[in-house]
Amino acid sequence: MRQRNPWGMALAVVFLIAAMLACGPGPRGEGPSITITSPASGIAVTVGEEVQIVSTAAADAGVARVELSINGQVVRSDVPPSGNPTTFSVVQVWTPMAEGEVMVSVIAYDTEEAASEPATITLRVEAAVAEVTPTPEADVAGPGGCTLNASYVADVTVPDDTELASGTAFIKTWRLRNTGTCDWGPGFSLVFVGGDQMGGSASVSVPATAAGSTADVSVNLVAPGEPGTYRGNWRMQSDAGLLFGSTVYVRIVVPAPATVTPTPTEEPTLSGPTNLQVA
């Protein structure tokens, strides 16, 4: 009777298992992921004004759609314009209708209906500010029967709602017109009268300015440390301490810092023995 070789049987089993693994399904690609690129979390938006939510989705199986939710409720779903690309950037428009803090989230789905983890930001919805035509300030009596007055002409630097990173030093410059009949001389200044001082001095000197002429007046400021919208109000003051003229202001937005998405760590691949010896 012929004796069977046990090592030969073992080798046959190994080859059979290897063949079955080779014919089986390969590893599934990465599931979908998504990030919100704009706006920054924590900024203020206005009731009744459109907000553009910009996000980028990725999926090895192809992106099928992106859903936008407000406070957990889906408000719109967008599909790629052509096919199912592995990356898809989309702009989704939403219009807030009430004040308060809202949670904005997006989820990407691939062609196999796998869902990404939601990408989420928060926004502060504020009431719209009615545009009011400023009323010219009344003249203030100055020395010798002349009058004191000033009007805003233009923002020379840092227009309203300029975004500045926390801690950024900047110079705000206004152009003002002397609309009174008194000349501005030594001792005239622009003084802080309310709002957010943003590290500025309580007052800054004003160049000598004849009646009817304009002057550029600057203050050195620093963007506050917390995200939000900040406004500081300033007004002209005479050498005798009299406030006069229109109030001018600086308004900036400090955005929330960008969220850094950690790079996933690849799992190590385990490999079987490479050499098999048969006695």
pLDDT in tens, 226-254: 888 899 999 999 999 999 999 999 999 98
Q: Give the model confidence (pLDDT) of 168-198 as tens digits.
A: 999 999 999 999 999 999 999 999 999 999 9
Q: Is residue 228 part of a domain?
A: yes
118 lies in the same domain as 154: no
Whether residue 268 lies inside any domain: the answer is no
For 127-173, write each residue's pLDDT tens digit: 876 555 556 677 788 788 899 999 999 999 999 989 999 999 999 99
Does 97 fall in a domain? yes
d(CA 273, CA 219): 73
CATH number of the domain that 184 lies in? 2.60.40.10
pTM score: 0.50
Same domain, 114 and 58: yes
Which residue, among 92, 110, 95, has the nearest Cα to 55 in the 3D structure? Answer: 92
Say if residue 144 is in the same domain as residue 122: no
Q: How many domains does the chain have?
A: 2
Same domain, 109 and 187: no
Judgement on whether residues 113 and 61 belong to the same structural domain of the protein: yes
What is the domain extent for residue 101?
Answer: 33-126
CA 105/CA 68 separation, integer angstroms: 6
> What is the overall mean pLDDT for the chain?
84
Q: Are residues 182 and 236 in the same domain?
A: yes
How far is it, in rounded angstroms, from Cα 104 to Cα 102? 6
Residue 68 in any domain: the answer is yes
Check whether 275 has a pLDDT greater than 90. Answer: no
- 165 and 237, same domain (yes or no): yes
132 in a structural domain: no
Q: Which residues pair with 218 in a beta bridge?
A: 173
**pLDDT tens digits along 11-56:** 555 566 555 555 544 445 678 999 999 898 888 888 988 999 999 9
Q: What is the pLDDT of residue 144?
A: 81
Q: Report how far apart the first and last C-alpha atoms of the chain are (Å, whole number).
A: 21
